[in-house]
Structure 1
């Protein structure tokens, strides 16, 4: 794959908050432990404290999770390595979007695998296991129940509730499947064999990435949740995480940055079959919103002890849960993810949990041959893809116009005539000067109107080039959003079964740029 790296600052797609973090802005350094560099992992390895007992629980949970899957040798080796204290993980996470959802799901995982490879080269005495954290406990079904391909939205409608990972692939899903007969075989097989949504995602991630040594973690496991009991107690009863996040958020806001996430006093949901609802304290009782469930403090303490799996962390505590149950060194995410972690540093410090190296996943824009052809016809380079369309159109029409539609010289001459004659006439009668000034304004407006008509005529003359540019912009920013946040991987995978494999040769997890790739 031919590709070009474009400076992220020149794409106009990223917040100053995110770019300042990557630049190592001094003001942000109190909000993380390690800079996003390969050298940072030397200290990260030394600082990571991960109990051996946790390793055993993790390994047993993974073995149970993969029990019904025929593992690749690479996956077996990775699980076995996790027994040893010189093995660490590097992690990315994402929702359970149908058929992977937008392209950046793939980019996240490829970036994480590549990071593990680069770390092994830099620190050969250690092993590094890439992990995909499945957001099985998320309950926002509307965010994940569709994918977009060739401008069309394919959506599954279901009345199931609760954690989406537990949604059954019932009759409604099987009917939905019939609307996408073109799906790649890897997805057809994954969903065919699965009973639940999380089973299907595990199946296709295993098939797509298992041979690269990627492991999938579903943390919706009683034994893993049991390792998080102390946080549950402190969050529910003393609200310590809320206090810490508020302090860090206020510190960031004092520097001019906006918070990405907003903590609650209780940052756990109550989760059971068909339920994932917020827990809220009212007086001496604890209520589960939108249900009839209510508990006394002692009842809730007993429930945490007996059934920790019923307590699901929200966005504030999910990162802490991840770092508690994994021997993790780095988290790779999108721009918003990376910066919201900076609000959580105080929570990690409070619970004495190692704060990982935060890295952005790789970013990419895939160009198909027809788009490359249109670029060549316009004389565009890859950098031109990130300009504003309206600005380009205005400047292009002005530069290619056969008639000067700005009429600046004409306006200046006309103004001079009215000004000169107005002054002469004003000597005869003062009101004549005002009349000439009013007439000048009307005349200039007429010239403006004529200029606009000439411009429209020039645009019609240049319609072919403008349509080419519109087609390019519609392709790279469908619906006004970057391609990687909209388009499904099957747009490229169906045409080229080696598409994902080719990304490994392009992506460098420690080179922060926009990869413009010729498919």
Structure 2
């Protein structure tokens, strides 16, 4: 296996806000706390060192309850130690792990915890997978792609996805070419999707020290209660996020989030709906539920588990209940966390180091051999189809296909013609220039026809090249955002270990992993 890295900017896949953040542009310093360089984590640790001991105890109690029945689970008591911290990534509960990048997120978190332990041996670092169990967008988690086929969980499903019945996935398990026992056990032996995901994540990554947390829990929500109450009564987050968003937009950046007046959902069985305020009344959309301010605050006090943060408040909730140092996110997550810096400052919660996950393109041995045969480098594979064709022809043709030399001679001829024409009549300048432009355009069209003719001479190789491109970027989508873990894991049980060996969490490049 050979590892190559590609600059993120050359791939054309990443937003300017993320790229400029990684370049540490001074104009962005106000939107984050500590840049994620290894030497900066001492500062991050210092800011989180006052994390409340009672919150640690609650966290450990909840984790021990959630992991009950799983074999060889971690010693959670380590989290009671004031010198133990977490590094976290999170995602929705996509079935069968979803796209590869979810696996990449988790491995990045694991590798960061290991790197921090080596750099700061007096502390402990625990990688955490924040399961987005309260999310209610069923469509986003309900399908995955495997060996060219899309598998979809069908049916009507409402409310938090973490509470769904995973046994319904038996239909899909029966369709798979090799019934993966890992997922059969997880989905068929657990009563909720949250428990099932914890089960298979523990099986895949428990040996690396990963802890999966389900924050849909009353005891954890109680720590978040002051934020819930303030959000209900002041709409403070909408003001703060709007201000930060305006500042980022003024710098020319696109921002992915828009805050609402109330950034909370009402959460119950088969129900997760927005809380809105109409006059002096709080209502739960698409229900008959309504409350006065006094009633909804009393409800929050007695049953905090009924209040679920949306994307604006979820990061704050995470940082309130975890002794967390870093959040590992995707190319849109890091930018939206930057929109939330003012919210963290308002609530006096330390802002974590923001890190992009590792990005990767995995090229198997057969594909590597084909790329070498076609004389195409791994960097070329990030080009669009038109540019890839052009690069291939330029590299493989034995002929000079451009007409650059002829265009230069053509320009010299017209310079001479122009000189003669304007000597006779100055008004002929425009006519000569127009004719020159017309004939140059004709040369450009001829040049394109010559290139297309040469492409026909290499039609077989170009078809192979585009076939390879489509395998690695199916339907024009990056492999990591389309293919599923099982596409590789079924035939190579060492796949995860190979990724673990390849990834460097603090190298913000695109990894190209070549099997020889």
Contact 2:381 2:388 in 1 (8 A): no
Contact 1:476 1:482 in 2 (8 A): yes
Q: 2:360 aligns with which of 360, 364, 368?
A: 364
The answer for the alignment partner of 1:22 in structure 2 is 22
The answer for the alignment partner of 1:192 in structure 2 is 188
Residue 404 of structure 1 and its aligned partner are, at CA, apart by 6.4
The answer for the alignment partner of 2:345 in structure 1 is 349
Q: 1:390 aligns with which of 386, 394, 397?
A: 386
The 5-angstrom pairing of residues 216-295 of structure 1 reads: 216-295=212-291
Cα 1:378–1:285 change in 2 (3 A) is same
Distance in 1 (alpha carbons) for counterparts of 2:124 and 2:417: 87
Residue 422 of structure 1 and its aligned partner are, at CA, apart by 12
The answer for the alignment partner of 1:428 in structure 2 is none
The answer on 1:82 being equivalent to 2:79 is yes
Q: Which deviates more from structure 2 when the two are superposed, residues 277-286 or residues 497-506? A: 497-506
The answer for the alignment partner of 2:55 in structure 1 is 54
Residue 14 of structure 1 and its aligned partner are, at CA, apart by 1.7
Contact 1:397 1:458 in 2 (8 A): yes
Residue 280 of structure 1 and its aligned partner are, at CA, apart by 0.7
Look up the SS of the partner of 2:343 in the other structure.
Answer: helix
The two structures, once aligned, show a CA RMSD in angstroms of 3.0
The answer for the alignment partner of 2:118 in structure 1 is 121
Q: 1:375 aligns with which of 354, 360, 371?
A: 371
The answer for the alignment partner of 1:5 in structure 2 is 5
Distance in 2 (alpha carbons) for counterparts of 1:113 and 1:161: 33
The answer for the alignment partner of 2:310 in structure 1 is 314
The answer for the alignment partner of 2:144 in structure 1 is 147
The answer for the alignment partner of 2:165 in structure 1 is 168
Look up the SS of the partner of 1:340 in the other structure.
Answer: helix
Write the deviation string for residues 318-368 of structure 1: whole angstroms up to 9, x where unpaired. Answer: 000000001111111112111111111111111111111111111111011
The answer for the alignment partner of 2:131 in structure 1 is 134
The answer on 1:472 being equivalent to 2:468 is yes
Cα 1:423–1:504 change in 2 (3 A) is closer
Distance in 2 (alpha carbons) for counterparts of 1:293 and 1:270: 10
Look up the SS of the partner of 1:121 in the other structure.
Answer: helix
Unpaired runs of at least 5, structure 1:
426-432
Total equivalences in the alignment: 514
The answer for the alignment partner of 2:482 in structure 1 is 486
Look up the SS of the partner of 2:249 in the other structure.
Answer: helix
Write the deviation string for residues 479-505 of structure 1: whole angstroms up to 9, x where unpaired. Answer: 112111111011111111011022222
Residue 250 of structure 1 and its aligned partner are, at CA, apart by 1.3
Cα 1:436–1:402 change in 2 (3 A) is farther
Cα 1:415–1:55 change in 2 (3 A) is closer
Contact 1:40 1:357 in 2 (8 A): no
Cα 1:47–1:405 change in 2 (3 A) is closer
Contact 2:167 2:188 in 1 (8 A): no
Contact 1:402 1:458 in 2 (8 A): no
Residue 126 of structure 1 and its aligned partner are, at CA, apart by 1.2
Distance in 2 (alpha carbons) for counterparts of 1:4 and 1:314: 38
Unpaired runs of at least 5, structure 2:
422-428
The answer for the alignment partner of 1:429 in structure 2 is none
Residue 467 of structure 1 and its aligned partner are, at CA, apart by 1.7
Write the deviation string for residues 365-407 of structure 1: whole angstroms up to 9, x where unpaired. Answer: 1011121112111223332232333123124435655676656
The answer for the alignment partner of 1:94 in structure 2 is 91
Write the deviation string for residues 241-260 of structure 1: whole angstroms up to 9, x where unpaired. Answer: 11111111111112221212
TM-score (normalised: structure 2):
0.91
Residue 464 of structure 1 and its aligned partner are, at CA, apart by 2.2
